[in-house]
Chains A and B, each alone.
Chain A
Amino acid sequence: MSRPVVVVGASMGGLRTAETLRKSGYLGPLVVIGDEPHAPYNRPPLSKEVLATDVSHDAVAFALSDVLDDVMWKTGNAAVAADLDKQTVTLADGTVVDYEALVIATGLRPRRLDFDNRPARGIHAIRTLDDAMALRSELVPGANVVIYGAGFIGCEAAATATKLGAQVTVVGKGDVPMLRPLGHELARDIQRRHEAHGVAFVMNAQLTGVRGDDRVTGVTLDTGVELPCDVLIESLGSLPNTEFLAGNDIDIEAGVHVDAALHALRTTGDAWPNVFAVGDVARFPIPKFDPATRRVEHWNIPTEMARKVGKQLALQLAGDADAHATEVAKHFDPVPSFWSDQFEVSLLAYGLLDQATDVRLLEGEPGGNCIYGYFVGDDMVGVCGIGMRSKVMAYRNKVGLTTSHG
């Protein structure tokens, strides 16, 4: 039997890659390896609906298309090592799987605090369905919830926990929450809306300690303040799941470095022709912006990358050299897009907002529905709106950098 295409990571990126391979005519063996026990499911609801209501795996699972019928799923089994020269992946149960081509779709995991004497109970992060379900059972009315890290997931969890009747305090480092992605003005506006719902913010602060024996009872901050705490949620950003690739000649600094055709790169910058990365774990250039590489941890990216890798790899394996070369030459050039729901605020954004040197109100009123443009010189690198979605969408195809601004 010929060697299979092996996809490591059974979530959105892995699933969409497998589907696109099949739909593009690849009928050979296909193995999808995932460490979670669950079939692929949708993550954004984890900080929203899943925390708020009694939602099970069924409600968030992705529909599995018929084209996946003969895929071999190895779920509940982590990839623990890989040998890119011998073309093998080793699983936690000791199985060694040979591959013809490897697709890395292992995503991220939350960065966690490292404290001595960390209580075993009451401290959470939100990345997996199991994480969200464990947290949900503790978000009871009147609970003192401290959220450490004021990014999107932290702020969404703050809104959801407040709606459930918890007393929520968000502790974060900058002056305002979500400062880096949104800029000062819009971030401050959203903070005020959170405060109107009863969320407390302690900004410019760091956690220095956690109190409690078996269960967390309080946290201490570098400002000297001590906060009572029944539930601590850590939302401090993420780390790429690349450990299983260690020991190979592959650039995994801050994510798997890929080229514009999504091939993984050696530390020398040369491409591995049969190794790819898709989704949150990938660090890639976006030509419509600049040659710099970055991870983009938003929902549309895994699907768009998977579509390219699936199609391109199917042509490569079919030996269709011309069509493959044409596909490789189509550089991956997406418009990052994200949304976020926090209380009545529904944000919709396109582009790379954090690249902006200048943020301007484009339409509407601060405090109400409004649209901000994110600029470098005259180039719009991003757009973000509260409400006014059809208008925000109309800006989508305008984002990018036309010139290099040194």
Chain B
Amino acid sequence: MLKIHVDMDKCQHYGQCVFDAPEVFALNDDDKLEYKATADDSERENVQRAIDICPMQAISFVE
């Protein structure tokens, strides 16, 4: 199981992460980021791509 954390003080809701890991990240109807705090291991690479592309460097894995 992957554990994922987004620092909501940093996140500016740009939604760049949504394209790399749509199973984990989404913008809701108010354009705010929603994400799953846990995901299947098969999502590791996608979430890593989202971590790299996030302009605010807000996403991390929780060890």
Contact surface of A with B, Cβ cutoff 8 Å: 16, 19, 42, 44, 62-63, 299-300, 303, 307, 337, 339, 341, 346, 348, 387-390, 393, 396
Contact = CB atoms under 8 A, between A and B. Distances in A.
A42 B27 contact: no
Nearest to B14: A339
B57 A390 contact: no
B52 A303 contact: yes
9 contacts: A16-B52, A42-B56, A300-B16, A303-B52, A307-B49, A389-B13, A389-B15, A390-B29, A393-B18
Contacts of A62: 57
Nearest to A346: B12
B54 to A, nearest CB: 10
Closest 6 CB pairs of A and B: A390-B27, A389-B31, A339-B14, A393-B15, A389-B15, A303-B53
Contacts of A396: 19
Interface residues of B, number: 18
Given A339-B14, A389-B15, A390-B29, 17 more contacts: A16-B52, A42-B57, A62-B57, A299-B55, A303-B52, A307-B49, A339-B12, A346-B12, A348-B14, A348-B15, A387-B31, A389-B31, A390-B15, A390-B31, A393-B19, A393-B27, A396-B19
Interface of B: 12-16, 18-19, 27-29, 31, 49, 52-53, 55-57, 60
A393 B18 CA distance: 9
B55 A44 contact: yes
Nearest to B49: A307
Nearest to B13: A389
Given A299-B55, A303-B53, A393-B18, A341 B27 contact: no
B53 A300 contact: yes
Contact of A389 (B27, B49, B57, B60): B27
Give chain B's interface secondary structure class.
loop
Given A390-B29, A393-B15, A393-B27, A339 B52 contact: no
B16 A337 contact: yes
Contacts of A307: 49
Contacts of A339: 12, 14, 55
Nearest to A388: B31
Contacts of A303: 52-53
Contacts of B29: 390
Nearest to A44: B55
Contacts of A337: 16
A339 B54 CA distance: 12
A389 B14 contact: yes
Nearest to A390: B27
A389 B17 CA distance: 13
A337 B16 CA distance: 9
A348 B18 CA distance: 14
A299 B54 CA distance: 10
A342 B33 CA distance: 20
A388 B55 CA distance: 19
Contacts of A390: 15, 27-29, 31
A16 B53 CA distance: 10
A390 B13 CA distance: 10
Contacts of A299: 55
A387 B60 CA distance: 26
B14 to A, nearest CB: 5
Contacts of A389: 13-15, 27, 31
Contacts of B53: 300, 303
